[in-house]
Amino acid sequence: MKISKRNSTIYRHACSWGLLISLCAGLNGCKKLYNLPDEKEFLSVNLTYDGKSFYPILGRTSLMGTVNTDHSTTPLHFEIINPRFGDGRPYTDLFQVKPVYQWITRYDGTEKNLEEIEAKRKLVNRPLFEVDSTGTFILWNSSTNELIPPRSKDSIDLVQNVRYFDLKVSNSGGSTVVKDFMILPWRVQDYEPYSDKNPYNGEVAPDPQDPKNPKKQSYIWPAYMTNIYGESSNQLLRTNDEFKDLVVYIRRFDGGNGHNLRFVFWDKDKKPINPENFNETNWAELVHGFNIKKTPTYVQYDVAYPIPLTNYPTKYTNGSSAKIDFGYSRIGFGGTLVTAGFGLNFKIFTKGDWEIVFHFQRENPRFDNE
C-alpha cells in the first residue's frame, strides 16, 4: 500500500512536470509547431519602373527612373548588375569614382558670401552613375564627354555602343531583378537654353527657319522683352521666328578667377553698351553672386556653380532656372514714363568663367528721353 502510494506520488510528479514542459513548449514553439509562415518583408513580383530607357545629358546631375514598388516594404536595396553594351561587352566607365558636391544643409538663397554656400556642401567621391536607396538613378555632374563617350555625333546609335544594365532589388522578403535598362547619354551641354547649339555634336545649330543656310544660325532668345524701342526706327524691338533684334550668347571668357559670371551688352556693332544705361536693373539681386564689379563694359559677379545651385525657389530663380531681369526707364511721348526691360531664364552647369552677352543685333535700343 505504501509502495503503491509512493509510486503514485512519483507518477503524479512526472505527470505534472510533463504537463508543465508541454505547456512551456506550447507557449514558445507555436510558430514551429503549427508550421506558420515567417513574418517577412514584402517584395512584390510586380515591382517595375515607369520607364527603363534613359537619355541623360552628361555634365549635370540627373535623377532618373521612377520605381513602382507595388507597395513592397521599404527601404529596398538596389544594385546595378550586369552592365553591358548591346553586344554583350561589359563596361565600367560609367562607374568611375569622381568627386561631386553633396548638400549638407539646405541652400535657400540667403547666403551672404561664397564661403557660406560652400559650407553647406561638401565634396564626396561618387561613381559617375549610381542607383540610390530609393531606386532613383543618378548621373552626377562629374560626368564628362571624356569620361563617358556620349551618343555619336552623327546621331546614328549602333546597338553595340548602347549601354544596358539590370537592377537587383532586394529586401528581407527576397530579391528580384528588373532587366534591360538602357542608358544613352547626350554629350555635355554646358548651359541652358541650348538652342544655339546642336545637341548631337555641340556645334552651332542652323537657323530652324533656314537650316541649309550656313550663314544663318540659331540663337538663344531672351525670355521676354518689353517696351524696347529702336534708336533709329523708333519701332519696338523684338525677337521671334522672324526677327532677331536681341539675341543672347552664353560663352566662356578668359581672365576670370574660375567662378566668375559676367553680363555684357552689345550694340549692333558689337560694341559694349554701358550697363549703367539699364538704370532700372537691381544689380545687387540680379544673381546670387558676390563681389559685384561694374565696369562700363560689363558687370561681373563671383558665383557658385552650377547656376542655380538647387531648384529651391529663391528670389534669383524662376522655376528651376536662374532668372535675370534688366530694365531701364525713360520719358516717352507725351511725357509718360516708359519702362523697358528684358530678361533671361538660364542655367549654367559647368564651373568656369562665363559671360552672358545680350546682343542688340539689328538696332540699338533707345535710351534717350523724348
Given the rule CB under 8 A, which of 3-11, 204-212, 269-277, 330-338 is the region that contacts other proteins?
A: 3-11
Out of 57, 58, 64, 76, name the contact with other proteins by CB under 8 A. Answer: 76
H-state helical runs in the chain? 2-28, 30-33, 114-119
**CB nearer to other proteins: pick between 82 and 310:** 310
Out of 86, 173, 332, 352, name the contact with other proteins by CB under 8 A. Answer: 173
Asked if residue 40 binds other proteins (CB under 8 A), the reply is yes
Out of 88, 90, 105, 240, name the contact with other proteins by CB under 8 A. Answer: 105
Out of 2, 3, 38, 110, name the contact with other proteins by CB under 8 A. Answer: 38
In angstroms, the Cα distances linking 299 to 190, 269, 318 are 21, 19, 21
> What's the rounded Cα separation, in Å, for the pair 308 and 226?
25
Count the residues of the shown chain that bind other proteins, applying the rule CB under 8 A.
52
Asked if residue 99 binds other proteins (CB under 8 A), the reply is no
Expressed in percent and rounded to 5, the helix, strand and coil fractions of the chain are 15, 35, 50
Asked if residue 48 binds other proteins (CB under 8 A), the reply is no
**CB nearer to other proteins: pick between 115 and 203:** 115
> What's the rounded Cα separation, in Å, for the pair 64 and 237?
41
The answer to whether the beta carbons of residues 163 and 184 sit under 8 Å apart is yes
Out of 14, 21, 24, 104, name the contact with other proteins by CB under 8 A. Answer: 104
Least distance to other proteins from the beta carbon of 70, Å?
Answer: 8
> What's the rounded Cα separation, in Å, for the pair 305 and 14?
82
Asked if residue 17 binds other proteins (CB under 8 A), the reply is no
Least distance to other proteins from the beta carbon of 310, Å?
Answer: 4
> What's the rounded Cα separation, in Å, for the pair 59 and 72?
33
> What's the rounded Cα separation, in Å, for the pair 111 and 109?
6
Out of 311, 336, 339, 369, name the contact with other proteins by CB under 8 A. Answer: 311
Q: From its phi and psi, is residue 115 left (phi > 0), alpha (psi between -120 and 50) or beta?
A: alpha
Q: Is the peptide bond before 193 cis (omega within 30 degrees of 0)?
A: yes
Asked if residue 351 binds other proteins (CB under 8 A), the reply is no
Least distance to other proteins from the beta carbon of 31, Å?
Answer: 8
In angstroms, the Cα distances linking 331 to 171, 202, 326, 365, 369 are 70, 44, 17, 14, 5
Out of 48, 52, 61, 217, name the contact with other proteins by CB under 8 A. Answer: 61
Asked if residue 106 binds other proteins (CB under 8 A), the reply is yes
- Residues of span 247-286 touching other proteins by CB under 8 A: none
Q: Which of 126, 128, 136, 125 has its CA nearest to residue 78?
A: 136
Q: Is the peptide bond before 222 cis (omega within 30 degrees of 0)?
A: no
Asked if residue 316 binds other proteins (CB under 8 A), the reply is no
Asked if residue 2 binds other proteins (CB under 8 A), the reply is no
Asked if residue 11 binds other proteins (CB under 8 A), the reply is yes
**CB nearer to other proteins: pick between 94 and 309:** 309
Asked if residue 136 binds other proteins (CB under 8 A), the reply is yes
**CB nearer to other proteins: pick between 133 and 233:** 133
Residues 6+ apart with CB under 8 A from 3: none
Asked if residue 20 binds other proteins (CB under 8 A), the reply is no
**CB nearer to other proteins: pick between 44 and 297:** 44
Out of 14, 15, 119, 292, name the contact with other proteins by CB under 8 A. Answer: 15
In angstroms, the Cα distances linking 359 to 179, 214, 275 are 50, 20, 13
> What's the rounded Cα separation, in Å, for the pair 140 and 100?
7
Count of helix runs (H) and strand runs (E) in the chain: 3, 21
> What's the rounded Cα separation, in Å, for the pair 362 and 231?
10
**CB nearer to other proteins: pick between 308 and 341:** 308
Contact residues for other proteins (CB under 8 A)? 4-5, 7-8, 11-12, 15, 19, 23, 26-27, 30, 33-34, 36-40, 42-46, 61, 63, 69, 71, 73-76, 102-107, 120-121, 124, 132-136, 138, 173, 309-312
